[in-house]
Chain A
Amino acid sequence: MQSKKMRWTASMFWSSIGKKLLMALTGFCLCGFLITHLFGNLLLYSGKETFNAYSERLNSLGLISRFIELGLLFFAVIHVIIGAILFFQNLKARPVQYIVNKRAGGRTIGSATMPYTGFLLLTFVIFHLINFHFTDKTYATIYQIVSSTFTKPGYVTIYIAAIFITAIHIRHGFWSAFQTIGANHPKYMPVIRVISILFSIILGIGFGSIPIYMSLTG
């Protein structure tokens, strides 16, 4: 009996809505991460000491911070794998394409590009981790690493482009995740849609200003 229930639940996760729910829940967690990450990074504005102290503090949490990192990695892997499966399944759902394609007004730039912005995000996250996470920190503080990275115009450009792409992904992703978990009410949905746009603008300006500021101040 128990195993039958388990099989039922597992098959539900593999259904179209089940996969969407996994996208929404992992997407929400990643959004939560982005918010804390933004607050942490904004400490760069209060100078070297504060930012290095913040970084020390994170590292001194030891196991807790390893645990959170592993959790995020787990959510990111699920998000990427299910996202890729959805993309390929959806391609297959229309074997013969229309000759004339026209939008009726539902689609946005964000919604039409989710798999592509997602894939670009994935490559950026790997690049970003190599830059700042898996880098030798014996001879330099994290502040020094960040500020020397952003003296190079190429890096500044890549980071700003990546943040722009993140903002586009979130602009659709945030409200879409509410719709997926069933939280669509005529009273609240317009508010959620506005928050979705504000959220992506705040992310864009918050993260995007950092490389510019660092490159100007050194």
Chain B
Amino acid sequence: MTTTINLTLKVWRQKSHAVKGGLETYPSRHIPTDMSFLEMLDVVNEQLTLNGKDPIAFDHDCREGICGMCGAVVNGRPHGPEKGTTLCQLHMRHFSDGDTIVIEPWRSRAFPVIKDLATDRSALDQIIQAGGYVSVNTGSVPEANTIMISQETAELAMDAAACIGCGACAAACPNGSSMLFTGAKVSQLALLPQGKPEAATRAAEMVRTMDACGFGNCTNEAECEAECPKEISITHIARLNREFIKTGFLS
């Protein structure tokens, strides 16, 4: 037996970055609790379309928690109330019949609203372009395990690499800082020998770009760590700080 619930949505509607937006109220009825949050929005959008109204714009792609495209602030929590869950993986069973749900886009100067819940997160791409890469020779694939890496280091690098670049850290941060993103991207490369050639300037260049994009300054509030759908630790921010000291002042 599937249970269904009835909800009231208050959704941020905004035609484009240039015009003012505001909350609109929509009923969301007979929602099976096995649905994901995005599927629930699909149902609402179908009804809106049938009524001749503009459907709610929101970003999504894989819908299995790995691409980083989805994300909205649900009742004040980026990606909703569940720990370590993307919005697409959030199920309606975590809500109760009669709930009112307020849905807002990521709020950051660096993430202008494109439409409704969709924001322009290309600032994160700019940070990557500034240094979040390694140089690899083309040609045949190198022999596996030619460079030995301890299990522990590999695991740590993998923890950082779990970042899907959704931007929830900046959305959750009271200062609108994307330090957890930048920390994860610097960390995954700083931990591995493959990241060493560019290490001399990487942290400084990525931080400089992050600042220029309009993100705020980290004050170690740790809200990002609590909201990150991949539960990335702020120890990676500390590693970024160490890398920054090395590249900025000691090189």
Give residues in A with beta carbon < 8 Å to B.
8-9, 11-12, 15-21, 86, 89-90, 92-107, 111-112, 114, 172, 175-176, 179-186, 189
Q: How far is the CB of A4 from chain B (nearest CB, A)?
A: 13
| Contact pick for A183, options B110, B218, B238, CB 8 Å | B238
Q: How far is the CB of B243 from chain A (nearest CB, A)?
A: 8
Query: Does B4 sit at the interface, judged by CB under 8 A?
Result: no
A-B contacts at CB below 8 angstroms, number: 137
A99, B248: Cβ atoms closer than 8 Å: no
B174, A112: Cβ atoms closer than 8 Å: yes
| Contact-residue bracket for chain B | 35 or more
B238, A184: Cβ atoms closer than 8 Å: yes
A16, B177: Cβ atoms closer than 8 Å: yes
Known contacts A93-B214, A179-B238: A111-B219 contact under CB 8 Å: yes
**Hey, what's the 0/1 contact readout for B168-181 against A, CB within 8 Å counting as 1?**
00001011110100
A20, B214: Cβ atoms closer than 8 Å: no
B102 nearest in chain A by CB position: A100
Return chain A residues, CB-CB under 8 Å to B221: 106-107, 111-112
Query: Does B210 sit at the interface, judged by CB under 8 A?
Result: yes
In the assembled complex, the Cα of A198 lies from the Cα of B56 at a distance in Å of 50
| Contact pick for A94, options B23, B176, B207, B249, CB 8 Å | B176
- Assuming A16-B210, A16-B211, A180-B220, what are 12 further A-B pairs, CB within 8 angstroms? A17-B207, A18-B244, A20-B217, A92-B109, A93-B109, A94-B109, A96-B107, A98-B73, A104-B227, A105-B226, A107-B174, A181-B245
A96 nearest in chain B by CB position: B107
Return chain A residues, CB-CB under 8 Å to B223: 103-104, 106-107
B237 nearest in chain A by CB position: A179
Return chain A residues, CB-CB under 8 Å to B175: 90, 93-94
Give residues in B with beta carbon < 8 Å to A.
23, 73, 75-77, 102, 104, 107-110, 172, 174-177, 179, 204, 207-208, 210-211, 214-227, 234-235, 237-242, 244-245, 248-249
Q: Which of B177, B179, B220, B242 has the most CB of A within 10 A?
A: B220
In the assembled complex, the Cα of A104 lies from the Cα of B208 at a distance in Å of 28
4 closest cross-chain pairs (CB), A and B = A93-B216, A102-B76, A106-B222, A184-B238
User: What are 18 inter-chain pairs, A to B, with CB distance below 8 A?
Assistant: A8-B248, A15-B244, A16-B216, A17-B207, A17-B240, A17-B248, A90-B217, A93-B109, A94-B107, A100-B102, A107-B221, A107-B222, A176-B220, A179-B234, A179-B238, A180-B241, A181-B241, A182-B238
B76, A189: Cβ atoms closer than 8 Å: no
In the assembled complex, the Cα of A12 lies from the Cα of B206 at a distance in Å of 12
Q: Which of B102, B219, B222 has the most CB of A within 10 A?
A: B219
| Contact pick for A93, options B77, B176, B235, CB 8 Å | B176
B76, A98: Cβ atoms closer than 8 Å: yes
Q: How far is the CB of A186 from chain B (nearest CB, A)?
A: 6
A189, B235: Cβ atoms closer than 8 Å: yes
In the assembled complex, the Cα of A18 lies from the Cα of B108 at a distance in Å of 22
Return chain B residues, CB-CB under 8 Å to A112: 174, 221
Return chain A residues, CB-CB under 8 Å to B249: 9, 12
Return chain B residues, CB-CB under 8 Å to A182: 238-239, 241-242, 245
Return chain A residues, CB-CB under 8 Å to B23: 99
Return chain A residues, CB-CB under 8 Å to B176: 90, 93-94
| Contact pick for B76, options A11, A16, A96, A101, CB 8 Å | A101
In the assembled complex, the Cα of A179 lies from the Cα of B236 at a distance in Å of 10
